[in-house]
Structure formats: C-alpha cells, structure tokens
Amino acid sequence: MFESFAAAPGGWLPFGYCLSWDPILVWTIAIAEVAIGLACFSIPAALFYCFGRAWDKRFGRFPALFGMFMLACGSIHWIGMIDIWYPVYRLDAVGLVFTAGIAVATATVLWYLAPKALRTLEIGTEAQRERDRTNLRLADSLRLLEQQNAEAFASEHRFRLTLKNAPNGLCLVGLDGRFIMVNQALCSMLGYTEAELLARTFQDITHPEDLQQDLRHVADLIAGRGDNYRMEKRYLTKARTVIRIQLDVSILRDDHGAPVHFISQIEDITEREATRAALLDSQRRLEAGYAQLERQNYRISLLSELSGVLLACQGIDEIKAPLCHFGNAMFAGFSGAVYLLHNSHSYLEQAVAFGGPLASDLVFTPDTCWALRRGQHHWNGHDSMRCPHVVLDVQDRPTLCTPIVAHGERIGLLYLEANAAAEAAPAGANGQVEHIASMVADRVGAVVANIQLRETLRRQAMRDGLTGMFNRRFLEESLPRELSLAARHEYPICLMMIDVDHFKAFNDRYGHDAGDKALQMVATEISRQFRDSDIACRYGGEEFSVVLPNADLDIAHQRAERLSAQIARLEPVGSAKALGPVTISVGIATFPAHGTTPAALLEKADAALYQAKRAGRNRVVCSGDAPDGRGET
C-alpha cells in the first residue's frame, strides 16, 4: 500500500483530492496523530506503574477503565493517521464504537467517584487541621509535664518525710534485696543503725524457715505475676532474737513496666500473734466440740437414710450394697462386716464387709463370739476376753462385736475393727461407736427379720405344700416371662401337661394317704428327670406341668417318654402293703408353633393331654398328632 503511495506523482499523496493539500500540512497532521497516540498509550502505562504498586480501593476499577479509554483514544489517532492515505472506514467505525463505549463507561464511573474524590480532598484538609490541633496539644502536654515534674519533686519530698517519720517500719528495697532507704522505726525494731541496715539485704535478717516463701513472692512480683503481696514471717534482730512481723510489699515500675525497686511496710505483730494463738486454741476446742456434734448429726442422718433404703430392700442380697456404702460413711476409721445366722442356726456366715481386710473368720459358730453368748457389746482385747472367731493378730487395735437381734432372737452379728491408723481406746471412750453400732444392728435385725418373713410367705405362696414343687401361681407368673425371653432370643419352648392316670380310682381303692404318697413319688421323679433350668409345677390335683426352655418338640417328646417309662416302673408302697402301678398321660405343645401366648400354649398342651387320655392313657401325645400316633407307651 505504502509502495503505491510512494510511486504516485509527487510521492505520499493523501487519499482523495483536496485543493488545500500541502505536504507540510499532511505530515504535520500525521506526526501529530502519532504523537497523540503515543501519549495516550503512555498514560495507561503510568497508571499501571502507580496504581499497581499501591492500589487504592476507594477508586475501584476506575484507573483500569481510564487506562482502557486512553488506549482506545490512542488507537483512534493512529487509525486517523492511516486514514490520510488509506481510509479504512469499518476499522474507524469499530474503533469509534469501542472508544465511545469506553468513554461512556469512564464518564459514568467518574461521575460516581467524583463525590468520593471530593471527600478525599476534604479528609486531607481535615488531616492538616488535626495535625495543627495535635501540635497545640503537644505544647499543652509539655507545659503539663513541667508542672507534673514539679509536683513529682514535691511528692518525693513528702514521701521522704513520711518514710522518715512513719510509726511502722518502712523501707525501699532493691531488686537484689539490698536496702536502699530505711526509716527510724525499722531501725529501732531490729536494733540496727541506718548505716548497718543499708549494708545488709532482707535475706540477711529473714528467718531461714521463712526465706524461701518470701523469695517466691519476690520472684512473682519481678516476673509480673502481681503488683503486691502480704505475708507474716520472722525477722532476726541484731541481738539474734526472733520477732514476728507482717510484711506488705509493693513493686514500683517505670513507664515501660520494668521493675525498679520494692516498697515495704513492716509491722511488729509479736504480741498480737501471742493473743491470736490463745484465741485459736479456744477456737480449736470449740470447733472440735462442734465437729463432734456435726459428726453425730451426720451419722444420725445417715442412719435415717440407711433405714429408708433397707426398708425398701426386697431380699438379703439387696441389703449388702447399702450396708457397705453406709458402713464406710458411719464408721470412719473402722472396717467391719455383718454376719447372718444360717437357717440351720448352727453357724454364722459373712453377708457383707466394708473397709479393709478383717481379722475375723468368714464363717464361725455362735459360741465363738462373746457378744452373742452374753447378748451385749463386747470389745475384744479388754479384760483378756478375746472372741475365738477373731483369728488374726489385731495388734492392739480395738474390735467391737454387737449382736443383731430380732423378735428377741439373735440372728446375726455386727463386727467392727479399728484401722491401723486408729488409736486404741478403752471401751468407755467408744460409747458413741457402741451407740451407732446398736442402732445399726437394731435396724439390720428388723429388716432381715422382715425379709426372711417375706421369703417364707413367698415360698409358701409359690410352693405346693404336699410335693414341694412350684404351684400353679408360680407357673402363671413364670410362663409369660419365659415366652418373652424366647421371643427375644428366638429359641423354642415346650410345655408339658402331665396327668396321673385313674387317680380318683386309685384314691378310692387305696385311700388318700396312699394317693398323697403316689403324688409325691411322681413329683420326685419329675424333679429328677428334668434340668434345673426347667420349671416343674404341680398344676392342680393330679395334674403337673413342666416348662422346658430352649428345647424343641423332639427333645421334649423323648424326655416325656423317658419320664412315663420310669414312673410306670415305680411301685408305690403304703401301709405295709404294695400298691398298684402308677402311669401318666402327657400332652406337649411348643412355642411358637402351637401358640405365642401362655393361654394359647396351655390350651394346646391341655388338648394334647386329653387326646392322650381318650386314646387309652399311659402315653405321650404332641399337639397336632393323631391320638394313637406318636409316642404311645
């Protein structure tokens, strides 16, 4: 393109015809366009250099937008230079449109940022005013500092006068413990002259037993863990006598917080301490009496709580934990145990123990305890009467035996043994322990008697009086629980209903005594043939029932067959004559195949039993079997 221009007549002629064309004018315009373009290009570079190093968020993206605007303007001027010789109107249009868009955006942002720029100028002006005000305040501060220096000089003078004439000992102490300044009161208190004290440190006159504590306080102040401390300690006077003083120490720090020295106030409290010691002795005696009263009240409250807990216990095993817990609390300094008389009344065995190991036997006969033989408290070791059941050497530690009585009968023993740390004392000095032991024994006796009575009544309510087996009531309570466990753990349960064949005819022929013996024989054989985990009951009259947990129908049928055969081989004997043979009929139902509730299972087993009877008796029938089918004996 440029070669064609140069080849044209006159060289580098502008495009089109212009009457006012002049080479100088053309080149002036071209050079101006290039210069303006270069200037426009340099402005974004300057903006990038300035704002790229220190970006001011208050202007947002305006510098970048303005830089783009200047680039667009420079491009337009360079395109205008080209248009002189070779106009490219589409490029002109694109450049102008782009420049116009950038220009509009820049103008919009500029109008938006103009208030911020004005505020920035105002802030600069206000900053200058603030600097002027700060200079004025500095001048006022200088005048105030001069005034404060004068006041500080006067204050120091007053301090020195106060230090010199104070009635208590006052001194300034360096960080190394050396006295910097002392008053006359401190010199008189210690018997030193001022020069002698200034040549010493506080460590030199502090009692050796109090020095370490004082040094720890000093270290805490220097480390900044406090500003002052107070302590009572002892000083050694010049005459080497000991005086008690109260020391109050504060630390003085400079403006940067660094410690300078200590200010100490010392008060002689020797006479006050003697008075306080006498008062403390009286207070200790009063507190000892009050503590004894509190312990007694505490033990009584514990005893009341123990009574409530014991009354709520349902069995002997339940009273062990409360007795152990409350025994440790009520008999501080003692270990102990509760012994209960066996049902045979021939020996006592340890039911519960608390505290440490005991010197007494775990099992002993009643005649080996003086307390049980005499029916009253007995301190072992006194009057050379030591119970034989105390088999280990207690090494002069007192031991107390207290009988547990209920309804006038001795049913147990409360045994207490002082710990190794307890001091031995005569029996009369342990009256309080005896009193608490008696009250505990009374409550334990009453509770044990009630529990034993309840157990007796419960056994009578749950056992059949003739056979000793569980009764129907026990079956009705146990069967729902066993079915619930079986459902939870997914194992079968079999229920047998057993009936003694022709029992009414047997009674009529041989009499009721023989009938009772036959029932007892059948009950004994049932108990012998089944497991301890099985539940055998007398259901009523000549009927029995057996619950077999975790046993399927085949196992139950085999056991029923074996039971039936064994009973058939027995020969009841009564009134010196042989009785006729006894046979049984058995009906079996299983959970969950034949029923999932106690009533359903009982109904199925009972129906199977009646099938066995209708089929001729002396046989085993499972629920759902034919009467003459499986298991005929």
User: How far, in Å, CA of 99 to CA of 77, rounded?
Assistant: 11
Mean pLDDT of 96-124: 73
Question: Does residue 384 have a pLDDT over 80?
Answer: no
Question: Does residue 118 have a pLDDT over 80?
Answer: no
Q: Is 592 helix (H, G, I), strand (E, B) or coil?
A: coil
User: How far, in Å, CA of 189 to CA of 196, rounded?
Assistant: 13
Q: Which tens digit of pLDDT belongs to each residue from 203-224?
A: 999 999 999 999 999 999 999 9
What is the pLDDT, as a whole number, of residue 21? 61
Q: Is 199 helix (H, G, I), strand (E, B) or coil?
A: coil
Tokens of 204: 């030199």
Q: Are 186 and 197 in contact (CB under 8 A)?
A: yes
Of 590, 605, 524, nearest in space to 555 by CA: 590
Residue 381 confidence class, pLDDT cut points 50, 70, 90: low
Q: Are 380 and 349 in contact (CB under 8 A)?
A: no
Sign of the dihedral through C-alpha 147, 150, 152, 155: negative
List every span in the chain annotated with CATH 3.30.450.20: 166-268
Tokens of 509: 């022929």
More confident residue, 91 or 133: 133
Question: Does residue 60 have a pLDDT over 80?
Answer: no
Percentage with pLDDT > 90 across the chain: 25
Residue 576 confidence class, pLDDT cut points 50, 70, 90: very low
Backbone angles phi, psi at 585, to 5 degrees: -115, 140
Average pLDDT value for the chain: 81
User: How far, in Å, CA of 387 to CA of 364, rounded?
Assistant: 11
Q: Are 245 and 185 in contact (CB under 8 A)?
A: no
Question: Does residue 423 have a pLDDT over 70?
Answer: no
List every span in the chain annotated with CATH 3.30.450.40: 297-456
Q: Which tens digit of pLDDT belongs to each residue from 458-492?
A: 777 778 888 888 888 888 888 999 999 999 999 99
Residue 11 confidence class, pLDDT cut points 50, 70, 90: low
Q: Are 206 and 236 in contact (CB under 8 A)?
A: yes
DSSP 143-164: HHHHHHHHHHHHHHHHHHHHHH
More confident residue, 327 or 633: 327
- Whether domain 297-456 has CATH 3.40.630.40: the reply is no
Mean pLDDT of 371-387: 78
DSSP single-letter state for residue 399 = E
More confident residue, 126 or 471: 471
The total of other beta-carbon atoms located within 10 Å of residue 300's CB is: 14
The total of other beta-carbon atoms located within 10 Å of residue 157's CB is: 10
Q: Which tens digit of pLDDT belongs to each residue from 300-332?
A: 787 777 777 777 777 777 777 888 887 787 887
Q: Nearest 5°: CA angle at 235, between 229 and 239?
A: 160
Percentage with pLDDT > 70 across the chain: 87
Residue 166 confidence class, pLDDT cut points 50, 70, 90: confident
Write out 489-522 in H/E/C secondary structure: HCCCEEEEEEEECCHHHHHHHHCHHHHHHHHHHH
What is the pLDDT, as a whole number, of residue 407? 81
What is the pLDDT, as a whole number, of residue 424? 45
Question: Does residue 457 have a pLDDT over 80?
Answer: no
Q: Are 493 and 550 in contact (CB under 8 A)?
A: yes
CATH topology of domain 166-268: Beta-Lactamase (3.30.450)
CATH-assigned architecture of domain 463-622 = 2-Layer Sandwich (3.30)
What is the pLDDT, as a whole number, of residue 203? 92
Q: Are 183 and 169 in contact (CB under 8 A)?
A: yes
Mean pLDDT of 196-206: 92
